[in-house]
Chain A
Amino acid sequence: MIGELVKRYLRMDRLPHMWCPGCGHGIALGALLRAFDRVKIDKDRTVILSGIGCASRVVGYLDFSTVHTTHGRALAFATGLRLVRDDVKVIVIMGDGDALAIGGNHFIHACRRNIDITAIVLNNQIYGMTGGQSSPTTPQSMLSTTTPYGNFARAFDFCNLAIGAGATYVARATTYHVSLMTELYASAIKHHGFSFVETFTQCPVNYGRRNKFPDPASMLKYMKDISVPFKVAQNMGSDELQGKIVIGELIKEKEDVELNKVVRERIMKFRGGAQ
């Protein structure tokens, strides 16, 4: 079945992809294709944007209208596009450095504005493309080329940040949890307003190698071990949740207010209701 989806949604002439063997970005892409199938996405009415990084290279392979923007700025490009075009779905795919370091300010404001955009961050806790420097999600004490004695800073909690900033759909999965990932991507795409799915993924080459993960499988197993489903986490104390990540839908607001709608309605008023 995935073979069929590959043909339907990927630019076959752009393959093979550039990701390293064992990289988690491909697993996330697979889940995305399944989610596309599930929501019956319209290839001609969907625009997919990305920033810069290994994760962001995904747009090159997707057979849609695609925009590979500048490092960290994809959400800002998407905001402009979505505000003038409420006839298209807008999906943004970013890396953790892309979305949270250089693009952190755009990320929180995109959450706050609640414009109808789906943001997917592939969080491999490292800068993959530039060769393994630390990112804002690199855990404390872990090694990277720019934290050769261990990272002193704490890692951002992406989802808590998004919730605090006002995103109306926030969810988390890992590349171990493929069917959950697919389900979350699909509901995020269907959500009206700003939806965000963080995906923990593995970069065996630039993170795993330096941090005592012998192979990609051990990284997947690690993600499985630290994941706690949202419902289970509700009954756990903060001590018990130390070192764990909560997966599933963390927030899903039913209310359907998004900025586009408000803006559009005002414009309609000016025009006396006529389009």
Chain B
Amino acid sequence: MSAKLIQGNEAVVYGAIKAGLKFFAGYPITPSTEIAEMCARDLPKVGGVFIQMEDEISSIAACIGASLGGFRAMSATSGPGFSLMQENIGYAIMAEVSVIIVNVQRMGPSTGIATAPSQSDYMQVRWGTHGDHPMVSFAPFSVEECFTEVVRAFYWSERISSVVVLLLDEVVAHMREGIDIDNIKDVVQIPERGPFPEEKEGYRPYRVEIDKGAKLPPLGTGYRFNVTGLVHDELGFPVENPEKTEFLIKRLHNKVDAVEDEITSYDERYTEDAEVIVISYGSVARSSLRAVRELRKNNVRVGFFRPITVWPFPSKRVRELSKNVKNIIVAEMSMGQMVLEVRRSIVENCNVTLIQGIKGELITPDIIYNTVNEVISK
């Protein structure tokens, strides 16, 4: 096949099917609806099932059910729907069920502006569900990356046996680019679940080392364990024992910490001689890249850094970079959320300037261009 002009949302579906998606449950919401519509059309062709549920609460619940049944499952939503999913996101984390949630960020709070882009769910992705928990999230900035990152989301979701959020914004979701899906390189192969022991009696799915994810065989295949959102023991039965509780909560975090270096990915350009670095993700990073290239033409020593893995935030690399520059500029379509992670990561004598985008429109390259010039001339 040759290159085709497709949308970010479409690329997500192509990628998900490539990754072995077999179940999609969702509820329509702008700007993520195309994902549901395409799944409705294309999933049956590969032997998968699509269902439109009564709301987003049941959508993620159905996905968890399908995943427990042994099939790769995904839902897609935006702001209000993502808020409704939070309780069951916590359930999937606690019960260690792999499931993919695509959140196409739009302007909030509440119904906000349905068609306006935003990046103000950044912290919600991390902390939206209650309780101590880890979170993994990837944020593509191009149509091709929508494809590759959803595949990577499935890969990691299977490996850590948990939720992974693919974080888009309205611009990335609706933007069209020409991509040749059949010739995308470096698409990761996703491991099958298991192997599971032949002896099914007394199998303990949660009996794993302190830095590993649970190993859940499909339900109804002879392994008669219990799955619960309560604190549980190795068999999945509720316990209120302090040691077991501590072990479980630590393990849920450790299993992500242990692979953090492997999960972390970012796009870094022009940083070697940079005096100032622009940090942004998703669609805003496209504006940043444009601004940085223009500035470079004028011999401004500006660098570009874009987290692709937005959670865990690539703190180590940002800290390294902060040692060699006096200024970091963070541009994001929010009052300032990722900037908090940047501030947490950097060394003391590096300044951070924030470009806020709260108008419901993309931050343009010239705003970034001008801000870099201002910061440098100070």
Whether the pair B65, A59 counts as a contact (CB closer than 8 A) is: no
Whether the pair A76, B53 counts as a contact (CB closer than 8 A) is: yes
Taken together as a complex, chains A and B put the C-alpha atoms of A263 and B237 apart, in Å, by 34
Question: Does any Cβ of B come within 8 Å of A252's Cβ?
Answer: no
Q: List 12 A-B contacts (CB under 8 A).
A: A44-B222, A44-B224, A70-B229, A76-B57, A77-B61, A77-B64, A79-B25, A80-B69, A84-B49, A84-B66, A109-B58, A266-B44
Chain A residues in 8 Å Cβ range of B206: none
Question: Does any Cβ of B come within 8 Å of A271's Cβ?
Answer: yes
Chain A residues in 8 Å Cβ range of B70: 84-85
Question: Does any Cβ of B come within 8 Å of A258's Cβ?
Answer: no
User: What is the interface size of chain A, counting residues whose CB is below 8 A from a CB of the partner?
Assistant: 38
Chain A residues in 8 Å Cβ range of B58: 73, 76, 79, 105-106, 109
Scan A11-32; emit 1 where CB is below 8 A from any B CB, else 0: 0001000000000000000000
Scan A39-81; emit 1 where CB is below 8 A from any B CB, else 0: 0000111110100000000011001111111100100111111
Question: Does any Cβ of A come within 8 Å of B252's Cβ?
Answer: no
Question: Does any Cβ of B come within 8 Å of A240's Cβ?
Answer: no
Taken together as a complex, chains A and B put the C-alpha atoms of A60 and B238 apart, in Å, by 8
Question: Does any Cβ of B come within 8 Å of A87's Cβ?
Answer: yes
> Which residues of chain B from 203 to 246 have a CB within 8 Å of any chain A CB?
218-230, 237-238
Q: Which of A49, A59, A77, A109 has the most CB of B within 10 A?
A: A77
CB distance from A83 to the nearest CB of B (A): 5
Scan B6-27; emit 1 where CB is below 8 A from any A CB, else 0: 0000000000000000110100
Residue of B nearest to A275 (CB): B47
CB distance from B205 to the nearest CB of A (A): 11
Question: Does any Cβ of B come within 8 Å of A270's Cβ?
Answer: yes
Chain B residues in 8 Å Cβ range of A64: 224
Question: Does any Cβ of A come within 8 Å of B51's Cβ?
Answer: yes
Chain B residues in 8 Å Cβ range of A88: 69, 219-220
Taken together as a complex, chains A and B put the C-alpha atoms of A147 and B83 apart, in Å, by 31
Taken together as a complex, chains A and B put the C-alpha atoms of A101 and B147 apart, in Å, by 40
Chain B residues in 8 Å Cβ range of A81: 65-66, 68-69, 219
Q: Which residues of B contact A (CB under 8 A)?
A: 22-23, 25, 44-45, 47-49, 51, 53-55, 57-59, 61-71, 73, 87-88, 91, 200, 218-230, 237-238
Find A65's partner among B64, B224, B229, B237 (CB 8 Å cutoff): B224
CB distance from B206 to the nearest CB of A (A): 14
Q: Which residues of A contact B (CB under 8 A)?
A: 14, 43-47, 49, 59-60, 63-70, 73, 76-85, 87-88, 105-106, 109, 263, 266-267, 270-271
Chain A residues in 8 Å Cβ range of B54: 105-106, 109
CB distance from B21 to the nearest CB of A (A): 11
Chain A residues in 8 Å Cβ range of B221: 44, 65
Task: Using A70-B88, A84-B69, A267-B47 as known contacts, say yes or no to A76 and B61 having CB atoms under 8 A apart.
Answer: yes
Taken together as a complex, chains A and B put the C-alpha atoms of A96 and B209 apart, in Å, by 39
Task: Using A80-B73, A267-B47 as known contacts, say yes or no to A87 and B220 having CB atoms under 8 A apart.
Answer: yes
Chain B residues in 8 Å Cβ range of A109: 53-54, 58
Task: Using A69-B91, A69-B229 as known contacts, say yes or no to A79 and B51 having CB atoms under 8 A apart.
Answer: yes
Find A70's partner among B63, B87, B200 (CB 8 Å cutoff): B87
Find B220's partner among A14, A69, A79, A85 (CB 8 Å cutoff): A85
Find B230's partner among A68, A85, A267 (CB 8 Å cutoff): A68
Chain A residues in 8 Å Cβ range of B55: 105
